[in-house]
A and B are shown apart, each in its own frame.
Chain A
Amino acid sequence: MLVLEKISKSFKIDGKRKYVLEDINLEVNGHDVVAITGRSGEGKTTLLNIIAGIIVPEKGKIYYRNRRVIHFLDIHTAYLRNRHFGFVFQTFKLLPEETVLENVLLPAKIKGFVGEKIKDRAESLLKDVGLLEFKKMKAGYLSGGQKQRLSIARALINNPSLILADEPTANLDKETSAEIVSIFKNIAANDGCSIIMVTHQEELISFTKEKYKLTNGKLEKQNG
C-alpha cells in the first residue's frame, strides 16, 4: 500500500549539511502495524512529514497504492492527508476552543461533507473512544488521555487507510497509555487500517508486526 524508495533528506546545521534520512526504504501493506523507534533528533518525525507529503524529500520516491506521491503538487498531498491518512500526535493538535464533536468533524469539514450521516459517524467514534458524553464540551477542558482519545476519533472520521501516529502515548501516564494502546489494538484488528507509529513505548512496540529503528539516518528492521 505504501512504498518508500531510497528517501533522503538533509538539513543545514551550523553551515554543514547533515543527512537525517539516507536511502530509507520501507514497505507497508494493508493491515500492517509498523513501529519506528529511535533517539530524539534521529529524523522520525521528519520521516512522518515526508510520508504525509508535508516535507519534500531530496531524493527518493513514495508510492501510495501504486501511485507516486507528487510532493510538489500541494492539492494532491492535501487530498491524500484528508481522504486516506489519519493523524495522531503526541501534542494532540486539537482546537481547544471548539467542542469535542467539532474537533472530530474537522477533517470531514475540510473534505466538504458535514451531513447527518457524518455526524452519526462522529458520535459513533466518540462512543468507541468513550467520549460521547463530552461531545459538547470544549476540547481544551479534556484530560490528556481524553484528548488523545479524541484525536484518535478525529483521525478515523474520514475512514483512512493509513494512520500516522507520532509518539501517541508520550505525554500520558501509564494507565492512560494502556487505554490508548488498547484503542490502537482495536483499530488494527477491526478497522482494517495500517498504522505507522513513531514511539518509544514498549507496550506500543510490542503489538506491532514490524519494528524499525532509525539510527544515523538509516532505517533498520528489528527482529522480533
Chain B
Amino acid sequence: MGKILLLLKELRGNFFLNFILLIVVMISTLLSLVFIIVVLNFSNYIDKTFSKSISPDMIKVSPRPTSTPKITGLFGMKLKQPKGTYIDDDILYQIKKIKGVKEVSPLLASRIPMQVMVSIFGLNYGSDLICIGVDYNLIAQDLKDKNAIKLWNNWKEGNEIPTMIPEILFQAYNSSMAEPNNLPKVSKDMLIGVKLKLNVGKSSLKTLNGSSTENAYVAGFTDKVANICLVLPLRVMRYYNEKFNVRSEYIHLYVKVADHASMVSVTKKLKEMGLIVESDKTLSEEILKLKNFVSIIGNVFIIIVIFIASIAIAFGSVVAVSNRFEYYKILRILGSSKTYIVFSIIFKYALLGFLAGILAINLFDYAFKMIATKFSLVSYISITSLTKPMKNNIILLSTLIPAFFSLFGILKLYDQKELVID
C-alpha cells in the first residue's frame, strides 16, 4: 500500500514536464496514425482504382526451344527431356497449382498429319494445316453461336467439329494468298458457316493407319491464337492425339493471374520452371512499385516521428530525473532499493505513454471521421478507422517506447555517483 502511494507520488512529480511529454507522445502517436491511415487508404485506392479495374495481363507461357533434336530410344534407353523444353499434362497441373494462378488456357497443337478441304466459289481447295486445340474460355469472347459453344464444350466422336480461324490467317489469306493466286478476297461473313472436311491422320506427305475424314465448319474468328493454323476444340485435339497414340504437348499456355502482385510472383515461378514467359507485366510492376513507394515514404515518416518523439522522451526523462534527483536520493537513503526507484520511473513513463496512446487513438477516430465527412473525402477513403489489433499494437508501442527511453533518465541517475549521504 505504502509503495503504491509512493508510485502515485512519482506520477505527481514534475507535473508540467510530464504533461509536456504526454502531449509529445500523443502528437507523435497521432501523426503516426495519420501516416498509417493515409498509406492504408492509398493502398486501398490503388487496389480499387487500378488493380481491380485494370486486370492484370495474361501471361503467355511457352516451352523453351532445344538446340539439339530429341533423341529417344538410344541403346534402348529413353532420355529425359530437359526441364522447360516441353509442357505436358503434369506441367500443366503444376502450373494450375501455383499460388495466384486463376485460370490456365492451354494451346494443344496437333502432332499428327492433318489436312483441310474446303469448297468455296466452286473451287475445291485442300491444304496441309496445323491445327491447334484450345479451351472455350480462351475464345469465349469470339464465339457467339450457341450450338457451336455447346459443341466446343461437349464434342464427341461423330459430331461435326466447330472451328475458328485466327485473325492472322484471315488477313494472311487476303493479303498474301488471294491476289498472287488469282483467288477472290473473302469477308468474314462469307466464311462463317462454310463447311470443311478435315483429314485427320493424313497430309500430302504422310498417311497414318486409321486416318479419317471428319465434317467441320467455320464457327468464327479469333485473335487469341496468333498462329497460321485452324483452331479446334481442345477435347477434339486431345481425342485425336490419343487415338494415334501421340503424347499431348502444349505449344503455349495462357495463364490468368488473380492480381498484380500475383503477376510478378507467378512469372518468377514459371521462369524457375525453365519456361519462356511473355507478359506485359510493366503495369503490374509499376502499380506495385507505386504502392511500395508510398508505403516506404509513410513508414519513413513514422520512423522519423517516433525518432523525434523518442529523443524528446529521452531528453525529458533526463531533465525530469535531474529535477527529482534530491527526491530519489532521499528515497534511496531512507531505504528504497535501486530496483524500486527504476521501476517507479519506468512505470511513470509507461503509464504516460499508455494514456497518450489511448487519447491519440480516440482523438484520431473522432477527428478523422469529422474531417472525412466535412470535406467529402468519403469517396476516397475506404478505411476510416483502425482495426482492434492495430489499435492494440499502437497502444503497446506508445507504452513501450516511452518506458524504454526513460532509461536515459535512469542512466543519468546512476551515472551520478552521488546517490549518497552528503
What is A's interface to B at a CB cutoff of 8 Å? 45, 48-49, 52, 54-55, 74-75, 78-83, 87, 89, 91, 93-95, 106-114, 154, 164, 166
Residues A110 and B421 in contact in the complex (CB < 8 Å), given A78-B337, A79-B335: no
Interface: B334 (CB within 8 A): yes
Which of B1-9, B54-62, B267-275 lies at the interface? B1-9
In whole Å, how far is A89's beta carbon from the nearest beta carbon of chain B?
A: 7
Residues A87 and B6 in contact in the complex (CB < 8 Å), given A74-B339, A106-B330, A110-B336: no
Interface contact B421-A74, CB-CB below 8 Å: no
Interface contact B335-A82, CB-CB below 8 Å: yes
Interface: B77 (CB within 8 A): no
In whole Å, how far is A137's beta carbon from the nearest beta carbon of chain B?
A: 18
Interface contact B2-A87, CB-CB below 8 Å: no
Q: Which residues of A contact B1 (CB under 8 A)?
A: 112-114
Interface contact B333-A110, CB-CB below 8 Å: no
Interface: B420 (CB within 8 A): yes
In whole Å, how far is B17's beta carbon from the nearest beta carbon of chain A?
A: 15
Interface contact B421-A45, CB-CB below 8 Å: yes
A199 to B257, CA, bound (A): 90
Cβ < 8 Å to A, chain B residues 318-361: 326-327, 329-340
A80 to B337, CA, bound (A): 11
B421's contact among A48, A79, A80, A82, by CB below 8 Å, is which?
A48
In whole Å, how far is A11's beta carbon from the nearest beta carbon of chain B?
A: 10
Interface: B415 (CB within 8 A): no
A119 to B332, CA, bound (A): 22
Size of B's binding interface in residues, CB under 8 A: 23
B335's contact among A45, A107, A164, by CB below 8 Å, is which?
A107
Residues A110 and B338 in contact in the complex (CB < 8 Å), given A45-B421, A55-B420: no
In whole Å, how far is B1's beta carbon from the nearest beta carbon of chain A?
A: 6
Interface contact B327-A95, CB-CB below 8 Å: yes
In whole Å, how far is B339's beta carbon from the nearest beta carbon of chain A?
A: 7
B333's contact among A54, A83, A112, by CB below 8 Å, is which?
A54
16 contacts between A and B (CB under 8 A): A45-B422, A48-B421, A52-B421, A54-B420, A78-B332, A81-B335, A82-B334, A87-B333, A89-B421, A93-B326, A94-B330, A95-B327, A95-B330, A110-B6, A110-B336, A114-B1
Interface: B138 (CB within 8 A): no
B6's contact among A82, A94, A109, A113, by CB below 8 Å, is which?
A109
Interface contact A78-B2, CB-CB below 8 Å: no
**Chain A, residue nearest B3 (CB):** A112
**Chain A, residue nearest B338 (CB):** A74
Count of A-B contacts judged by CB separation below 8 Å: 76
Shortest Cβ-Cβ A-B pairs, 10 listed: A82-B335, A109-B2, A78-B337, A81-B335, A114-B2, A112-B2, A107-B334, A49-B420, A110-B335, A54-B420
**Chain A, residue nearest B331 (CB):** A110
Interface contact B333-A52, CB-CB below 8 Å: yes
Interface contact A49-B6, CB-CB below 8 Å: no
In whole Å, how far is A195's beta carbon from the nearest beta carbon of chain B?
A: 15
**Chain A, residue nearest B422 (CB):** A45
Interface contact A54-B335, CB-CB below 8 Å: no
Q: Which residues of A contact B419 (CB under 8 A)?
A: 54
Interface contact A110-B420, CB-CB below 8 Å: no
Query: Which residue among B329, B333, B419, B420 has the maximum number of chain A CB atoms within 10 Å of its CB?
Result: B333
**Chain B, residue nearest A108 (CB):** B2
Residues A166 and B334 in contact in the complex (CB < 8 Å), given A95-B327, A109-B6, A113-B2: no
Q: Which residues of A contact B334 (CB under 8 A)?
A: 81-82, 87, 106-107, 110, 154
Given A45-B421, A166-B421; 16 other pairs, CB 8 A cutoff: A48-B421, A52-B421, A54-B419, A75-B337, A78-B336, A79-B335, A80-B335, A82-B336, A89-B421, A91-B422, A106-B331, A107-B334, A109-B2, A109-B5, A111-B2, A113-B2
A80 to B327, CA, bound (A): 20
Q: Which residues of A contact B6 (CB under 8 A)?
A: 109-110
Q: Which residues of A contact B337 (CB under 8 A)?
A: 74-75, 78-79
**Chain B, residue nearest A94 (CB):** B330
In whole Å, how far is A5's beta carbon from the nearest beta carbon of chain B?
A: 21
Query: Which residue among A48, A78, A82, A111 has the maximum number of chain B CB atoms within 10 Å of its CB?
Result: A78
Q: Which residues of B contact A54 (CB under 8 A)?
A: 332-333, 419-421
Q: Which residues of A contact B329 (CB under 8 A)?
A: 93
A54 to B333, CA, bound (A): 8
**Chain A, residue nearest B326 (CB):** A93
Q: Which residues of B contact A89 (CB under 8 A)?
A: 421
Interface contact A93-B335, CB-CB below 8 Å: no
Interface contact A110-B327, CB-CB below 8 Å: no
Q: Which residues of A contact B335 (CB under 8 A)?
A: 78-83, 107, 110-111
